[in-house]
Amino acid sequence: MSIQLSKQCLDIGVVTANAEAALAFYCDTLGLELAATIPVPGGVVRRLKCGDSVIKLLILDKPPEHAVQGGGYAAATGFRYCTLSVKNMDELAEKCRIAGYRIAVKPFQLRPGVRVAMVEDPDGNTIEFMQEG
């Protein structure tokens, strides 16, 4: 049997060691809307609207033992980045640069009609911006 999706998008969870910095990046810099704050065992989840998807920031009562290995998408195995399809990639990448976030991959043309850039959030997670057209 194949997967039978009940929602046509993918939600992701991001464990953060610094809630204030993560919220500043995702809400203030990227402009995502805080939709809900939900208590969970051992912490709280901040649900951020991202189109039809949700980015769930998990803020633990006790900081995690291990930090993400930064260094961009090719630095290690596992889930290394997520892609946000946007209409204003250059503007977002520049806003992130000005705010002091690491630009892992400067804006470039991936293939005809498709440009990408990658930035790292305060915890070192890579976020790819992709713009078509």
pLDDT in tens, 15-32: 998 999 999 999 999 999
Residue 79, pLDDT score: 77
Q: What is the mean pLDDT of residues 111-126?
A: 95
Residue-range domains of the chain with CATH: 12-132 (3.10.180.10)
Q: Backbone dihedral region of 130: left (phi > 0), alpha (psi from -120 to 50 degrees) or beta? A: beta
pTM of the full predicted structure?
0.90
* Higher local confidence (pLDDT), 77 or 36: 36
pLDDT surpassing 90 at residue 37: yes
> CA–CA distance from 91 to each of 48, 57, 83, 87, 120 (Å)?
21, 24, 16, 9, 16
* Percent of the chain's residues with pLDDT above 90: 78
